[in-house]
């Protein structure tokens, strides 16, 4: 039978959540010994499909074949028994246990636990595929990439022949990503099948043998990677041609807007989250901020916006007219009352930047509601602004009275960015501006940022996709463990250089 070449075959899989069809008659085959990428925009149904293979969801319709036999996967246990192992985006490890203890956790065993044998078996896997792991290291001492290694070995230890990785590189530096890919290639050579969910095109192109594309819950097709290009894949993903160029103009008329000196923040547990950060931001350029998640990006932006208490240092703000003001000692209310046009698009859009249950008009009002001495609010101006933004940014919404929570991620972000830009800022800070957005919305946002830069605004952009930061920004500031490990010219630097800077202080600390 020809089906014997296929590790997994999905036929007409449909999954509905209420009225939403997450997967609509999806067909997919995974061959033995190949790396298959599943590509699709957010909400295209990639994770739902994989969750049905790992037993978390049960399909409403359709059949699943493993090694040519039709199977029913009703629970994660069934999935394990079939040799399918999934590595989720969020790790499920016990912090106080060692790597080896986590790996055997939950497995049936004899009365006496022979840790030596376990270690030997783990060592075997580590050597075979080229992992880098000490089985006796505790989880809480590990970096994110080491934790991921534990998760991968955990499923291999259980005998998984088919590995599913859900956006495994989202949390890794470029060097760590390369290491992971090398390991995955070794596994492929050993005959295992690997499914990798991602939306980073260049990773798809460099790693996988074939690419399956989903769009809005529908299966679009599978192509051989060698026949594909970024453009052709994007077209399949989006359903139309998309211009993937970010138009970066040369910065001109640079004027200093922010001078941050020795800025230091301490969290309630007395851990230093931002360590003597010193840099300048200029009007007319985009300053990118790169770093592994949780390296102090949030604290840095919030300290400037007056939302995070600072223990040391200063944030000098230079308005177009007048003298510099130190913002480090001021809170958001004082900064607002000084009339400083500091716009901030926070990471948590619905929990901080907007009020999810309020409509677009009321959300427009958030910034300016307090203007004037009137006891009552003026809803006419924000309503006009809302209508204007809906038209200009092509926000898809039934109207200005729809709660923003009901809008899609991209439209929510357009509402937020649109509002922040509408106040004619001198400094615009954005955190992860395109996270969760589809490609078209992402490019709308990039264009808006570039427009602001050309208007002379000092744009500060925290990002996670280094390829985008390199294309979009003029300079890139790299954070590592709360300290600035370098500021580089985005036009001349490389991903590798930034990757090294992202882990710089971490290594220095260990050497001490």
Partner 1 sequence: MSSIHISKRDGMPFAKALMIRLIGVLLSLVVCAVVIVALTKLNPVEVYKAIFSGAVGTSRRTWVTIRDSLILLCVAIGLTPAFKMRFWNIGAEGQVLMGGCVSAAVMIYGADHFGTAQLIPMMVVGSIAAGMIWGLIPAFFKAHWNTNETLFTLMMNYVAMQIITFCIVFWENPAGSNTVGIINSKTKLGWLPALSGLTYGWIVVVVLFLTVAMFGYLKYSKQGYEISVVGESENTAKYVGINVKKVIMRTMALSGAICGLAGFIIVSGSSHTISTSTAGGRGFTAIIVAWLSKFNTFTMVVISFFLVFMEQGAGQIASQFNLNENASEVITGIILFFILGSEFFVNYKIQFKKKEEGGHTK
Residues binding partner 1 (CB under 8 A) = 18-19, 63, 70-72, 78, 305-307, 331-337, 344, 346, 348, 351-358, 362, 365-367, 369-370, 374-377, 406
Between 100 and 427, whose beta carbon lies closer to partner 1? 427
Between 431 and 468, whose beta carbon lies closer to partner 1? 431
Between 285 and 420, whose beta carbon lies closer to partner 1? 420
Please state the closest distance from residue 255 (CB atom) to partner 1, in A. Answer: 26
Rounded to a whole number of angstroms, the distance between the first and last alpha carbons of the chain is: 60
Please state the closest distance from residue 494 (CB atom) to partner 1, in A. Answer: 36
Between 59 and 174, whose beta carbon lies closer to partner 1? 59
Between 403 and 506, whose beta carbon lies closer to partner 1? 403
Nearest CA-CA partner of 247 in 15, 411, 407, 447:
447
Between 326 and 331, whose beta carbon lies closer to partner 1? 331
What are 49's strand-pairing partners? none
Under DSSP, the state recorded for 403 is B
Chain CA centroid to CA 228, Å: 24
Q: 432, 463 in Cβ contact below 8 A?
A: yes
How many residues are there in the chain?
A: 512
Please state the closest distance from residue 354 (CB atom) to partner 1, in A. Answer: 7
Q: 85, 155 in Cβ contact below 8 A?
A: yes
Burial class (CB in 10 A: 0-12, 13-18, 19+), 455: middle
Please state the closest distance from residue 302 (CB atom) to partner 1, in A. Answer: 9
Burial class (CB in 10 A: 0-12, 13-18, 19+), 217: buried
Please state the closest distance from residue 284 (CB atom) to partner 1, in A. Answer: 26
- Residue 252: helix, strand or coil by DSSP? coil
Between 125 and 377, whose beta carbon lies closer to partner 1? 377
Nearest CA-CA partner of 409 in 40, 22, 42, 38:
42
Please state the closest distance from residue 387 (CB atom) to partner 1, in A. Answer: 20
Please state the closest distance from residue 336 (CB atom) to partner 1, in A. Answer: 4
Contacts of 329 (CB under 8 A, 6+ apart): 310
């Amino acid at each position: 039978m020809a089906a014997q070449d296929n590790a997994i075959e999905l036929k007409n899989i449909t999954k509905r959540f209420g009225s939403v069809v997450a997967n609509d008659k999806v067909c997919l085959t995974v061959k033995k010994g190949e790396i298959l990428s599943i590509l699709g925009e957010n909400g295209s149904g990639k994770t739902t499909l994989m969750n049905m293979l790992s037993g978390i969801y049960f399909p409403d319709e359709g059949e699943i074949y493993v090694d040519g036999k039709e199977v029913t996967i009703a629970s994660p246990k069934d999935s394990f028994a079939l040799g399918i192992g999934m590595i989720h985006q969020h790790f499920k490890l016990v912090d106080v246990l060692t790597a080896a203890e986590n790996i055997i956790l939950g497995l049936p065993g004899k009365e006496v636990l022979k840790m030596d044998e376990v270690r030997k078996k783990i060592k075997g896997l580590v050597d075979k595929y080229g992992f880098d792991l000490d089985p006796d290291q505790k989880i809480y001492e590990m970096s994110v990439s080491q934790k991921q290694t534990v998760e991968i070995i955990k499923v291999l230890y259980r005998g998984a022949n088919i590995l599913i990785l859900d956006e495994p590189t989202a949390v890794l530096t470029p060097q760590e990503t390369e290491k992971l890919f090398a390991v995955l290639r070794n596994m492929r050579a050993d005959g295992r099948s690997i499914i990798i969910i991602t939306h980073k095109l260049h990773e798809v192109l460099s790693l996988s043998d074939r690419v399956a594309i989903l769009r809005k819950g529908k299966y679009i097709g599978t192509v051989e990677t060698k026949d594909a290009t970024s453009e052709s894949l994007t077209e399949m993903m989006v359903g139309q041609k998309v211009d993937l160029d970010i138009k970066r103009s040369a910065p001109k008329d640079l004027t200093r807007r922010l001078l941050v000196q020795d800025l230091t923040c301490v969290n309630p547990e007395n851990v230093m989250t931002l360590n003597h950060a010193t840099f300048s931001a200029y009007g007319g350029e985009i300053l990118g901020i790169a770093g592994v998640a949780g390296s102090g990006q949030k604290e840095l932006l919030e300290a400037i916006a007056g939302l995070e208490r600072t223990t040391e240092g200063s944030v000098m703000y230079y308005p177009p007219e007048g003298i510099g003001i130190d913002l480090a000692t001021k809170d958001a209310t004082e900064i607002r009352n000084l009339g400083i046009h500091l716009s901030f698009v926070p990471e948590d859009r619905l929990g901080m930047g907007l009020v999810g249950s309020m409509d677009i008009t009321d959300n427009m009002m958030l910034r300016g509601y307090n203007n004037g001495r009137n006891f009552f609010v003026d809803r006419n101006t924000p309503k006009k602004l809302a209508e204007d933004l809906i038209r200009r940014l092509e926000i898809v919404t039934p109207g200005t009275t729809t709660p923003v929570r009901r809008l899609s991620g991209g439209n929510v972000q357009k509402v937020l960015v649109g509002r922040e830009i509408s106040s004619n800022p001198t400094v615009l800070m954005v955190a992860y501006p395109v996270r969760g957005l589809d490609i078209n919305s992402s490019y709308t946002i990039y264009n808006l940022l570039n427009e602001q830069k050309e208007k002379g605004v000092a744009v500060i952009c925290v990002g996670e996709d280094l390829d985008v930061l390199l294309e979009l920004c003029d300079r890139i500031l790299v954070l590592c463990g709360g300290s600035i490990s370098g500021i580089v010219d985005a036009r001349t630097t490389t991903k590798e250089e930034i990757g090294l800077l992202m882990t710089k202080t971490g290594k220095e600390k260990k050497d001490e």
